[in-house]
Structure 1
Amino acid sequence: MNDLDPLSPNSADSQRRLMVALALAMALTFAYTYFFAPQGPPPGAGVADAGQVVAGTDAGTAAPTPGTGTAGTPPPAGTPGPEAAVADAAPAPPVRTLDFQRESAHYSFSTQGAGLVSAPLQGPKMREQGEVSIAEGYKLLFGGDVPPPPQMNLAQPVAGQPLPLAVSITGPSPLPADARYAVAETANPETGATFTARQGPWEVTKTLQWPREGFELLYTLQVKNTSAQPATGELQLHFNRAIDPNNEHAPSFFGGVGNLSYASCRVGEEEHKLAPEQSLPDADESRGPVHYFGIDQQYFLSALYPLGGPLPGRCDFVATTTARAVTASFPLTAAPGETVTLRFGGYFGPKDDDLLAAVPGPAVREAAGAAAAYNPELTRTIDYGMWAVIAKLLVSIMKFFHGLMGNWGVAIILLTVLVKTILLPLTHRSMVSMEAMKKLQPRVEELRKKYGDDRERLNMETMKVYQEAKVNPLGGCLPMLIQMPVWIALFTALRNSYDLYQEPFFGPVWRDLTYKDPTYILPLALGISMIITQRLQPQMGDPTQAKIMTWFVPILFTLTLLNYPAGLALYIFTNNILSIAQQYGLRKWLERREGGGGGGLPATATAGGKRK
């Protein structure tokens, strides 16, 4: 049998000898590498000391052997040696996360893009508006404990998208938003940080500074053209936020205040806000002088604004169920060696009217080296809509009462008393008119029996009776019609005013006047008080209509208000209690006047229908 036959015994012995030889070669190679070969990675690849990642070759590309050209041929004359190649390769800084603990917020930055990865606000009011179930509400009512909602985090990165505050440059020489940045060691890292990245002709330096207190920061961008040629592009600033659709609720006139987030940008005089299922603004509308941009939520704002005034540019929006994003783009042109500097003010905090009106604060102006800086009018993000005049007036009055009493629930009660007092002359005439109509009911019932088949004649004769008695049948509706704008404006204020957000009324249950009453005690008490109010009023029309007004309308109104803010239910309930007391007191006063011969009501009719 041939020794080369793979089935022969000699062939098997040859294979065994080959395997032994390979094993010995591997062992010798390992021993040489471990004991005799120089330690550390070869130049141009691997991990350098101090944890710095050194740039290696592109994937799929073979690195030439040091000291040789391609395929081992000598390099041409004038080709830099391996030492020069290592010197020219810029080491990529390691990815780091920097934490800055401040009184108002805790900021976390990543050097991968030099953007925010987390920014939870600090403090009891700086929380998300969490859901409280009925069971949890009654648990609180009887002294139990329910964990508070998490702190409001204004920087929640979107997977696969640039980090909030990241920068990119588009054009012939792009710089990606996830470029790796080096961190400059500052003398006092508690007051800010400086990041630097280099790619192509660009050297980008981002400096963030913030005062020790407050919610503002100074964001300085320095873009240097390090090449010998002019460079152009478009500088883009990114801000986005990841959204949990299970925890986001749109505001509704028939429900709660909501916590919807919008991708927002003010261009010219128009403020564009985009949420899911809303149409994007036209390209021309989103191009122009950019005043500010960011993420606008119900009671919180994350926004950047050009510190020197509006900059010509444009805004691009993204609004899905899981993300909101806005990108502000500005034209960029730099001559060889030129550095373009842009300064932005930032605000990351609650939409408090006083705080927003003071932006930029003295500390930011001082850091920017400007005696006076542009006011971006961030107060425009507090949108009261068409009820702005009344809503702002109500908030101002409640602030005054809160300053006296220290409780926003008591401030709402005092606001109710004030409005009731102002409307007292009108409601008094209305109640007097209703009591007079109650005494006219026997005559109206006789007319209904007499002209029941002739609707037109019945209405004409009924109005004639009212005119003779000088009674307005619609007078009872006028106070309620006047109260309606107050109710709507108060609801609008509760939905937009941070002053009332997360503010308690009484005990642990009603710990947020802008959230619904989880026990539904206030809406139910409101419904009962409304039924009592209707029972005190004269029953007009046929018995079926009377039952509808007495029972059906209050029940429907109560069901509608179940998910409304507790502050609104408190206002209406207090108003009903005051109305009941006023109606009862008026009735007793009129009875005493009639008993004493004063004749408090117009002499209209006897029970038999004849005038006195």
Structure 2
Amino acid sequence: MEKRLIIAIALSLLVLLTWTALMPKPQHVAVQEVRTQQNVLNQSEIKHAVVATPSTPPPPGRLINYKQDNFDVTFDEAMAAIKDVSFKAYNNYLFTLSYGCLLKDPLLNFKQERMQENSISFIAVTAEKEVIKRYTFHKSSYTIDLEIEIRNKSSVPISANFPLILGVLDFSASNHQARFQDITISTADKILRNNGRKNTSFDEIKFLGLRDQYFTTIIEAHQGYQPGFVLKLNNHASEVGLNVQNETIQPGYKIGHLYHIYLGPQDLKIFNSINPAWGSIIHYGAFDFISQILLQTLDLLHKIVRNWGVAIILLSLLVYLILYPLSIKQMRSMKEMQVLQPKVEALRKANKDNPQKMNKEIMELYKEHKVNPLGGCLPLLLQMPIFFALYNALMRSIVLKGAKFLWIKDLSEPDRLWIFPASWPNLPILGNELNILPIIMAIGMFVQQKISSISSGGAAAEQQKIMLILMPIIFGLIFYRMPSGLVLYWFVNSLLMLIFQLRMNRAR
């Protein structure tokens, strides 16, 4: 198989499997605020929720900013809910929940009751009940304890049964984090994943997690398993949460519920120090096992060199050395194909009017010289899972957030060497920034492909020239707005391939 066909197969696989995932946008916005009218919880679909009438969250209330060591939390007073969280250690990354920890009861309109150094409480009073929500923060921690207290003010028993919303998934086109959102449900015996696109109910939930690209919020009931749900509000948003158990409160009595909340990065070390079971929130798709190994290796390299950029370079070198035997096999196959290329071209010219005979004689030629036309393709295909695993790992790993290298201010984002003036229009693909690293990577790929190309004639030569130019351009465009850490890895990989090809050429 000629080099042009190998390139075409690799490019087709890459574009087909990752095109929708390879165009990241700036990662400063998580779940956008959604204030659409809420649907009625359908009893047949969300069987544990009892809500008799349509419920709309109270109108946006006064915003209260509550500062802690690790993050600043913005509360919506009327909802007594978390609007968003800004993480100080990660360039004030904004993680928006819209109305996290909302008690979905249209009659409740909260007021701030008390604010202390480590807690803030809200109170809502209706004709029949008094509800207090108290958030208690732990010093230098991403955990919060949420206490909900309901007192019956009336002279008759009342029922306490309502949804507690963990957060909102926003699927609208304007939300660049939509493709990263998912839900993790820990039940009594298994871990479930959910994309939030349809109504779902769960009988017993140990904990529930909602995440974006880098951060997550988790809720776990202190009193044990509770039912939960995913409720599709419309085509652009869904709610996820727990259902407070149905309880009857006698006149003058009160009940209380305690929930443990996590608001922070998807960091396995942090999870292990709080609740190791929460580590199941972190997953990297189909090649999760390979992704975990690559990240652990990257972390080990970082401990040695103390720089994430250098660690990525060393990881690229290490992966290349591991795949070196496959690269040797691929290069040898390409070399054998190049030696036979004049004879292949001669057979094509001699049988240009008889394609069937031409293919038969070419295959006989390969068989005579013991050349496998697929020999250069198989090693390439075997490397694809590693690339996809590394892509998912670097795209979602929190370790690169805010990591600097050379001119790059954040390895989890494009390198942004130059931000265009505000008066300039947004350019297609480029947006409003010049990212130089993908351009350097594309140039390196062009040189590497140029050196390793197999000489041919006729139409094949023209196609090869087109692929030689087209492939680096396409990869440059695909990588243009990807995290610079991933672009750095791919550039180093191309550079190593170039050096290897030069050595192979000298050895001929």
Bin the TM-score by the shorter chain: 0.7 to 0.9
Between the aligned partners of 1:423 and 1:111, the Cα distance in structure 2 is 57
* Residue aligned with 1:207, SS: strand
Gapped runs of 5+ residues in structure 1? 1-94, 129-151, 157-162, 170-174, 252-257, 361-374, 591-612
Q: Deviations over 1:49-68 (max 9, x none)?
A: xxxxxxxxxxxxxxxxxxxx
Q: 1:389 to 1:546 in 2, by over 3 A?
A: same
Q: Deviations over 1:78-126 (max 9, x none)?
A: xxxxxxxxxxxxxxxxx98765432112235465443345542222x14
Alpha-carbon distance, 1:164 to partner: 3.6
Q: Are 1:519 and 2:434 counterparts?
A: yes
After the TM superposition, which residues 42-441 of structure 1 pair with which residues of structure 2 at under 5 Å, given as runs?
Answer: 100-109=66-75, 112-116=78-82, 119-123=85-89, 125-128=90-93, 152-154=94-96, 156=98, 163-167=99-103, 176-180=107-111, 182-183=113-114, 189-227=116-154, 229-240=156-167, 248-250=175-177, 264=183, 266=185, 268=187, 269-274=191-196, 278=197, 280-281=198-199, 285-293=200-208, 295-318=210-233, 325-330=239-244, 331-360=246-275, 377-441=277-341
Q: Contact conserved, 2:160 with 2:248, CA < 8 A, in 1?
A: yes
Structure with higher strand content:
2
Alpha-carbon distance, 1:213 to partner: 0.8
Q: Deviations over 1:239-266 (max 9, x none)?
A: 5569797963156xxxxxx6x656x573
Alpha-carbon distance, 1:208 to partner: 2.3
2:444 alignment counterpart: 529
Between the aligned partners of 2:69 and 2:252, the Cα distance in structure 1 is 40
Alpha-carbon distance, 1:432 to partner: 2.4
**TM-score where L is the length of structure 2:** 0.73
Q: 1:450 to 1:271 in 2, by over 3 A?
A: closer
Alpha-carbon distance, 1:315 to partner: 4.7
Q: Contact conserved, 1:126 with 1:350, CA < 8 A, in 2?
A: no
* Residue aligned with 2:390, SS: helix
Q: Contact conserved, 2:95 with 2:215, CA < 8 A, in 1?
A: no
Between the aligned partners of 1:126 and 1:292, the Cα distance in structure 2 is 28
Alpha-carbon distance, 1:386 to partner: 1.0
Alpha-carbon distance, 1:540 to partner: 4.7
Alpha-carbon distance, 1:303 to partner: 3.1
Q: 1:109 to 1:432 in 2, by over 3 A?
A: closer
2:359 alignment counterpart: 459
* Residue aligned with 1:515, SS: coil
Q: Deviations over 1:268-325 (max 9, x none)?
A: 4544343xxx4x22xxx3242234457532212233221233213545343675x764
Q: Deviations over 1:501-558 (max 9, x none)?
A: 3323322x45233436643422222222222222223235632233233223333333
Greater Rg over alpha carbons, structure: 1
**Further displaced range: 209-218 or 444-453:** 444-453
* Residue aligned with 1:483, SS: helix
For this pair of structures, how many residues does the alignment match?
Answer: 425
Alpha-carbon distance, 1:344 to partner: 0.3
Between the aligned partners of 1:532 and 1:118, the Cα distance in structure 2 is 47
Q: 2:497 aligns with which of 567, 579, 587?
A: 579
Q: Contact conserved, 2:171 with 2:235, CA < 8 A, in 1?
A: no
Between the aligned partners of 1:516 and 1:243, the Cα distance in structure 2 is 27
Between the aligned partners of 1:429 and 1:192, the Cα distance in structure 2 is 63
After the TM superposition, which residues 537-556 of structure 1 pair with which residues of structure 2 at under 5 Å, given as runs?
Answer: 537=452, 538-540=454-456, 542-556=460-474
* Residue aligned with 1:286, SS: strand
Q: 1:315 to 1:531 in 2, by over 3 A?
A: closer
**TM-score where L is the length of structure 1:** 0.62
1:559 alignment counterpart: 477
Gapped runs of 5+ residues in structure 2? 1-60, 417-432
Alpha-carbon distance, 1:402 to partner: 1.4
